[in-house]
A and B are shown apart, each in its own frame.
Chain A
Amino acid sequence: EDKVVQSPLSLVVHEGDTVTLNCSYEVTNFRSLLWYKQEKKAPTFLFMLTSSGIEKKSGRLSSILDKKELSSILNITATQTGDSAIYLCAVLYNFNKFYFGSGTKLNVKP
């Protein structure tokens, strides 16, 4: 059965800390892995990773895919309270199918 697993399920840190979120997957016909941030409503897109070993970076956020290990990490450095959210990992597989993991809830305390 296809699945996407994220860890940890929740995390509490203080401002300025660095966090690493994990996503592993087992799907047939893998195409890409995506990271989203969800606060109160719609998930907002962060990264799309298709090739293994190539880091994508946006400000304090970065992500990398390891296709050999079937996993990805999302790093956030110098965390701020505005980073508090649920971070969702999604895998695109087969034709048009985006499947989401259960998410990691991040709480950044002042």
Chain B
Amino acid sequence: DTEVTQTPKHLVMGMTNKKSLKCEQHMGHRAMYWYKQKAKKPPELMFVYSYEKLSINESVPSRFSPECPNSSLLNLHLHALQPEDSALYLCASSQVTFLRGPLYNSPLHFGNGTRLTVT
């Protein structure tokens, strides 16, 4: 079990559907991430929220829409996806601390992911 919880575990959707992936953490982390992982490939960064504000968007297509309603929750809204979007979607969180000098990030803690299949 991880301290980052993702739902659902599996999702099958058609190309015209709208669905959402959800992620929740209660570790008090202030940075939350979405990664996409295709089979036999490393996780690829999609989005980063820092203090509930979108800080990084890695040129992700607009059919993926992230949302961070509060410091514990992260959603990924999906609309009009393509079959090539089928992958494992991983949520992660990291503590962010502003100290005198460089910013400190704790290691990423991952959820178990949502296995998405687009038909």
Contacts and interface: CB of A to CB of B under 8 A. Distances in A.
Interface of A: 31-32, 34, 41-45, 48, 88, 90, 92, 95-103
Given A43-B43, A43-B110, 16 more contacts: A34-B107, A34-B108, A41-B88, A42-B110, A42-B111, A42-B112, A42-B113, A43-B108, A88-B42, A92-B105, A96-B31, A96-B48, A96-B56, A98-B45, A101-B42, A102-B42
Nearest to A99: B45
Contacts of A103: 42
5 contacts: A34-B107, A96-B31, A96-B96, A97-B48, A100-B43
A32 B105 contact: yes
> Helix, strand, loop or mixed for chain B's interface?
strand
Contacts of A43: 43, 90, 108, 110
A76 to B, nearest CB: 19
B15 to A, nearest CB: 26
B59 interface: no
Contacts of A88: 42-43
A42 B45 contact: no
Interface string B22-63: 000000000101000000011111001010000110000000
Interface of B: 2, 4, 31, 33, 41-45, 48, 50, 55-56, 88, 90, 92, 94, 96, 102-103, 105, 107-113
A44 B109 CA distance: 7
A102 B43 CA distance: 9
Interface centre among B90, B103, B108 (most CB of A within 10 A): B108
Main secondary structure of the interface of A (DSSP, over half): strand
Contacts of B107: 34, 45, 48
A45 B105 contact: no
B113 A41 contact: yes
A43 B73 CA distance: 20
Contacts of A102: 41-42
A96 B98 CA distance: 12
Nearest to A40: B112
A35 B83 CA distance: 31
Nearest to A48: B107
